[in-house]
Amino acid sequence: MNSRYDDIFNRLRNIAVEYVNSNEVTDDELRNYIYERFIVLPEISYMTISDQSDIQERIFNSIRGLGLLDDIMNDENITEIMINGPDNIFVEKNGRLTKLDKAFESEKKLEDIIQRIVGTAGREVNQANPIVDTRLKNGSRVNVVMPPISLCGPIVTIRKFSSSPMTFERLVKYGSLTWDIVEILKKLVKAKFNIFVSGGTGSGKTTFLNALSNFIPADERVITIEDSAELQITSVPNLVRLETRNSNSSGAGAITIRDLIKSALRMRPERIVVGEVRGAEALDMLQAMNTGHDGSLSTGHANSAYDMLSRLETMVLTGAEGLPLPAIRQQIASAVDIIIHLSRMRDKSRKTVSISEIKGINAAGNIELNPLFEFLEDSSLSDESRVVGSLVRTNNQFMRYDKLRNAGITEAIFDEC
């Protein structure tokens, strides 16, 4: 909105604040009050219809909404918001980070907005509990870090929630996959392969997991477990969604992913989908995969498929320190069938860079990977600012046809690529 209307905004906002402070009003009543005071202003004859609508919405949001944050959230091209104190705001827009020429009115105003966000989700943040993970009403994931932990004021990081679920149609359009590979993944999910999606921060793991989850047959019972509910599974009617909970200010009441996995096993799931494993819950996830819950899906942070195996070993050890490493490796090799690795390339694009199966334990006692597809960059078309390439079928034979046959899939699906 044009800055020359700031005076109108401030005058009307002050009037509306007085009205709200002296009356108990609903959101609709507040909107009507703002409209009635607005339409009698002589200045509106110089405004466009769009500016008139924007200024009224801005006044409402500054009182009942999230103020400046609402304006940023309304930009559909922004995928991530990073607020480092009231006057240091960065966004990821079209894959690139930029600093906004905007600021919150004060640190107090930013803190009020934070309290509104966490309060709506039934959580709390304060000096005793300065870190919280939560989400907005639209599903966007929010992380808050408050002073004294943060030295530059309140920190808010928001991963925006897409209003439309990610599909493989869109991933193919973006060049991350081909339709032949999508058909293979569809058959692997249907045949109840246990699949891990690995990758670095911002590589698109949750997005990919969401698309993969929608291949789950509609007649199954599925339980999703997440820190902040993001998955949008639309194909399964018998769906149970569970979300973790932080501890309260006295340090009690926390519900972890590990707690939820244990509870989910008592709810007769056919599959469990864990948004991300980060620690001791990896052991519970692997045990679930090994005890009749084939077809389970999850993600994890890693720099490669091999690194994902090492990280799983480390995560399991945090939950069972006395467990011998050979036993952990056997648990992983028995539980996980496929690892799909994603990466964010130098041009900020997100690519699927490998699809591998776990063959088992080799003679040296290590978990052995069998790469099936690997990303091959076309050096003749790529440069420093653009990455061009595709997933290419390796010469390695696919080993685990038993699960495909048990699911009634008899064709050699990997030989078609």
362-410 per-position pLDDT tens digit:
999 999 999 999 999 988 888 888 888 889 999 999 988 888 988 888 7
Output the CA torsion 175→180→183→188 (10° steps).
-100
pLDDT above 50 (res 310): yes
318: Cβ–Cβ under 8 A, 6 or more apart, which residues? 279, 280
Specify the pLDDT at position 1: 47
Sheet holding 338-344, edge to edge: 239-243, 222-226, 271-274, 297-301, 195-199, 338-344, 350-361, 367-377, 389-393
Specify the pLDDT at position 248: 66
Specify the pLDDT at position 135: 82
pLDDT above 70 (res 4): no
Q: Which of 393, 391, 411 is nearest to 401 (CA)?
A: 411
Give the number of other CB atoms < 10 A from CB of residue 4. Answer: 10
Distance of alpha carbon 278 from alpha carbon 294, whole angstroms = 21
pLDDT above 80 (res 246): no
- Mean per-residue pLDDT, 45-54: 85
Identify residue 341 by its one-letter amino acid code. H
Distance of alpha carbon 79 from alpha carbon 120, whole angstroms = 22
For residues 231 and 333, the model is more confident at 333
pLDDT tens digit sequence for 252-272: 788 999 999 999 999 999 999
Identify residue 102 by its one-letter amino acid code. K
In the chain, CATH 3.30.450.370 sits at: 70-161
pLDDT tens digit sequence for 55-112: 888 888 778 778 788 888 888 889 899 999 999 999 998 778 899 999 988 898 898 8
The answer regarding whether domain 168-416 maps to CATH 3.40.50.300 reads yes
- 70-161 CATH choice from 3.40.50.150, 3.90.1150.10, 3.30.450.370, 3.30.460.10: 3.30.450.370
Average pLDDT, the chain: 88
Q: Sorting pLDDT into bands at 50, 70 and 90, what band is 158?
A: very high
Distance of alpha carbon 199 from alpha carbon 280, whole angstroms = 19
Omega prior to 148 cis, within 30 of 0: yes
In the chain, CATH 3.40.50.300 sits at: 168-416
pLDDT tens digit sequence for 168-227: 888 888 777 889 999 999 999 999 999 999 999 888 898 899 999 989 999 999 999 998
Residue pair 217/195 in contact (Cβ under 8 Å)? The answer is no
Could you say which DSSP state residue 333 is in? H
Percent of the chain with pLDDT over 70: 96
146: Cβ–Cβ under 8 A, 6 or more apart, which residues? 111, 114, 125, 126, 127, 130, 131, 154, 155
Q: Sorting pLDDT into bands at 50, 70 and 90, what band is 251?
A: low
- Mean per-residue pLDDT, 116-121: 80
Q: Sorting pLDDT into bands at 50, 70 and 90, what band is 347?
A: confident
The pTM assigned to this predicted structure is 0.78
Backbone angles phi, psi at 115, to 5 degrees: -65, -35
pLDDT above 60 (res 417): no
Identify residue 29 by its one-letter amino acid code. E
Residue pair 187/412 in contact (Cβ under 8 Å)? The answer is no
Percent of the chain with pLDDT over 90: 47
